[in-house]
Chain A
Amino acid sequence: MFLEVLILIFLTAAALWTVMTRSLLRSAMGLALTSAILTVIIFRLNAPLAGVFELSVCAGLIPVLFISVISLTQALTYKEALEHMKSRFARFWALPLIVIIAGIILILMNVKLKTKLPLPESQADVRFVMWHLRQFDLLGQIIILFTGVFGVVILFKERKKSG
């Protein structure tokens, strides 16, 4: 129990840092860190495959994409970055307070959650679930990826010079 609480505190702190830190680059790294901590939680919840996805895609691939895009843009000077940090802090200073107060309220409410584990899915192999039970979603996800790529290609390619 103690370990779980500790990990959750780390997770919250990493997420807050991601939002409040001074540069986009740090935010991207914060995202990777948050995902990595989430992976630990997923592992401890006995979902190794979901953990692997989280670690490779959310902690690995996505921050890499973000960082490569950020590195293509012009970096802020140190002075600008400090200004930026101040404005972010002015905007987000209440965020940690809200998290803490919401946590305290939830503890005081002593919510008892009646939850069930997914029935058919929990008994089946992940591969079976993906390819047989969730086929429609899989098709949908393929279409989303395709649409994303298609959108980037048509929105960002050089336009023909026309009159």
Chain B
Amino acid sequence: MSALLVLVPFFSVLILNLPFRPAGKKLVFGVAAILSLLQMAAVFIPDSAFWRVNQNAFGNIFNFELSADILSKLVLFCIGMVSFSALFTTRYFIQDSDERFNFINVILIAVAGMNGVVLAQDIFSLYVFLEITAVASFILIAFNRDALGLEGAFKYLLLSGVATVLMIAGIALLMLSAGSTNFSVIHSVLLNHNKDFLISLAIGLFITALFIKSGLMPFHGWLPDAYTSAPASASVFLAGVVTKVAGVYVLIRILVSVIGFSASIKSVLLFAGAISAVIGAIAALTQSDFKRMLSYSSISQVGYIILGIGSGTPLGIAGAALHIFNHATFKSLLFINSAAVESELGSRDIEKMGGLAKQMPVTSVTSVLGSLSCAGIPPLAGFWSKLVIIIALWLAGYKIFAVIAVLASILTLAYFLTLQRKVFFGKPNDEFKDIKEAGFSLAFPALLLAALMVGVGIFSPWVLNGFILSFSSILGG
């Protein structure tokens, strides 16, 4: 029945579009918001039959082989949560009913694509659904049809195209070696033949493709442009969840369910993660554009997640998964904050801002919380995931990388404090003295995400143990 998570968003788009378009325009926001809430609720269905067994509810059509474990459910929750926030941002920014209708439709398609990626148990199906997500993202970035948006979308299209070619070549080679594209079949073949030239080549191609999709250094060229030039709600959606699903989730899934961890893969991940975490943070320090700073911060945080994966232990993977969730919360929140500031001030240049804390209290408070969570300050949620990642690195014997992770965290704190000081505190700019708080549609998701972040942070000590234990079981440890 988990196929419904793919089928319902897609068929909603079809139904909203085909016969009842005028009614669809009125309903689209409500339908999409309810679907994202239902998706978040569905994650808590304990019934394993819902997630695993094909009950042939539709006869011999829609008879898919899908499955979900704790990692998939966590990511499905993130998809629901971020799309819910992005919908409110869309409602605030896109006033024209036609445009808004189209935009929300594309978000629904992207949700269907990402849910397919998360549930797929076959490397080729996974690729097909990744492409759905990618095509929907190009449309979202270019949605305003301005020069910058088109440039950002085109850069993403080109690099994503390169990633696609590498990925499909990797899949073909894996199919040649294993005789199937199913996760478990490839996994059992790789257990015996992991030294083959062809298999190593396939794994190398696949992982490179995923590095491009996740925007890791040195493949990050597309990311700041795409995030910065996209419409505000598209930035929230892309930075919060799309690139995390398309790159990072797939990387974890492929490593856990198909390839397994070898010493060389671990060292590649650790190096790539450390470089991204540090250089991303240093690059963020030098930015004066609000959104661009957040984009570089994303690269740095993805580096963190990759460091966690690189430890190769259940603890590290659990930390990485938790950081995907936390990143989805605080980065969506910060992008909503940047959108609120940009819509009120008409500028993203943080050098010109100052003292906005009095005029925009909700934005200011939530963005302080988001920044502190991102920098890993206790007791906010970001602290726990970073702590788990650092402990996992230390316990796995990668002490140098654990130290690098701590240092990168200090850099994160540095650029966020700079950002906070320049935007919300310090000397007010007279030019912006009549600024007010942005509307309810931006304040509501911001408050919701901030509350979630604080709540998860406070309750983490109680739930963390059970969460990490469930990762031991999916890694077979």
Q: What residues make up the interface of A, taking CB atoms closer than 8 Å to B?
A: 111, 113-121, 132, 134-137, 139-141, 143-144, 146-148, 150-151, 154-155, 159-160, 162
Q: Point out the residue from A121, A140, A148 that lies within 8 Å of B129, measured CB to CB.
A: A140
Contacts of B113 in A (CB 8 A): 140, 143, 147
Instruction: Verify A116–B177 contact, CB threshold 8 A.
Output: yes
For B99-116 the 0/1 string (1 means CB < 8 A from A) is: 000100110010011001
Number of A-B contacts (CB under 8 A): 96
User: Separation in Å of the B175 CB from the closest CB of chain A?
Assistant: 6
Residues of chain A within 8 A of B106, CB atoms compared: 147, 150-151, 154
What is the CA–CA distance of A139 and B7 in the complex, to the nearest angstrom? 9
Point out the residue from B63, B129, B138, B175 that lies within 8 Å of A151, measured CB to CB: B138
Residues from chain B with Cβ under 8 Å of A119 in the complex: 179-180
Task: Please provide the 3 A-B residue pairs with the shortest distance between their CB atoms, ordered closest to farther.
Answer: A140-B128, A116-B179, A151-B139
Contact of A144 with B132 in the complex, beta carbons under 8 Å: yes
A71 to B186, CA, bound (A): 46
A25 to B83, CA, bound (A): 42
Residue among B7, B65, B132 with the most chain A CB within 10 A? B132
Bound complex: CA A137 to CA B168 (Å)? 14
B125 beta carbon closer than 8 Å to chain A: yes
1/0 per residue, CB under 8 A from A, across B122-144: the answer is 10110011011001101100110
Chain A's nearest CB lies how many Å from the CB of B269? Answer: 27
> Is B145 part of the contact surface with A, judged by Cβ < 8 Å?
yes
Residues of A within 8 A of B345 (CB): none
Contacts of A115 in B (CB 8 A): 176-177, 198
* Bound-complex Cα distance A91 to B98 (A): 44
Q: Contact at B6–A139, with CB atoms within 8 Å?
A: yes
Residue-wise, chain B 158-202 has the 8 Å CB interface mask toward A (1 for contact) of 000000000000000001111110000000000001001110000
State the interface size on chain B (CB cutoff 8 A): 45
Q: Indicate if the CB atoms of B135 and A151 lie closer than 8 Å.
A: yes
Contact residue among B62, B129, B193 (Cβ-Cβ distance under 8 Å from A135): B62
**In the assembled complex, how far is the CB of residue A154 from the closest CB belonging to chain B, in whole angstroms?**
4
Knowing A114-B198, A136-B65, A160-B98 are in contact, say whether A150-B109 is a contact too (CB < 8 A).
Answer: yes
Q: Contact between A141 and B60 (Cβ–Cβ < 8 Å)?
A: no
Whole-angstrom CA separation of A120 from B109 in the bound complex: 31
At the interface, yes or no: B353 with Cβ under 8 Å from chain A? no
Query: Taking the complex as formed, is B147 at the interface, i.e. its CB lies under 8 A from any CB of chain A?
Result: no
- In the complex, besides A147-B135, A151-B135, 13 extra interface pairs with C-beta distance below 8 angstroms are A111-B197, A114-B177, A114-B198, A119-B179, A120-B180, A134-B124, A136-B120, A137-B128, A139-B7, A143-B10, A144-B132, A150-B139, A154-B143
A151 contact set on B, CB distance < 8 A? 106, 135-136, 138-139
Of the residues A135, A137, A143, A146, contact of B61 by C-beta under 8 Å: A135
**Alpha-carbon distance A113/B193, docked complex (angstroms):** 12
Please indicate the chain A residues that have their CB under 8 angstroms from the CB of B14 in the complex. Answer: 146
Residues of B within 8 A of A155 (CB): 139, 142-143, 145
Residues of A within 8 A of B196 (CB): 114
Looking at the complex, which one of B7, B10, B175 makes contact with A118 (CB distance below 8 Å)?
B175
11 cross-chain CB contacts under 8 A: A113-B197, A115-B198, A116-B177, A116-B178, A120-B180, A132-B60, A139-B62, A140-B131, A143-B10, A143-B132, A151-B135
Output the least CB separation between B90 and chain A (Å).
14
Contact across chains for A136 and B176 when beta carbons are under 8 A apart: no
Bound-complex Cα distance A113 to B200 (A)? 12
Q: Which residues on the B side are within 8 Å of A154 (C-beta)?
A: 102, 106, 139, 143
* Beta-carbon nearest neighbor of B185 in chain A: A119
Tell me if A141 and B180 are in contact (CB < 8 A). Answer: no
In Å, the complex CA distance between A115 and B96 comes to: 56
Q: How far is the CB of A1 from chain B (nearest CB, A)?
A: 20
Give the CA-CA distance A117 to B180 in the complex, in Å.
8
Contacts of A116 in B (CB 8 A): 176-179
Inside 8 A of B62's CB, which chain A residues have their CB? 135, 139
Question: Does B64 make an interface contact (CB < 8 A)?
Answer: yes
Q: Kindly state whether residue B66 has any CB partner on chain A within 8 Å.
A: yes
Bound-state Cα–Cα, A135 to B139, Å: 26
Q: Are B65 and A144 in contact (CB under 8 A)?
A: no
A111 to B196, CA, bound (A): 10
Interface string of B364-388 (1 = CB under 8 A from A): 0000000000000000000000000
Residue of A whose beta carbon sits closest to that of B199: A114
Given A135-B63, A137-B124, A140-B129: A147 and B197 within 8 A (CB)?
no
Give chain B residues whose Cβ lies under 8 Å from the Cβ of A160: 96, 98
Chain A residues, Cβ within 8 Å of B177: 114-116
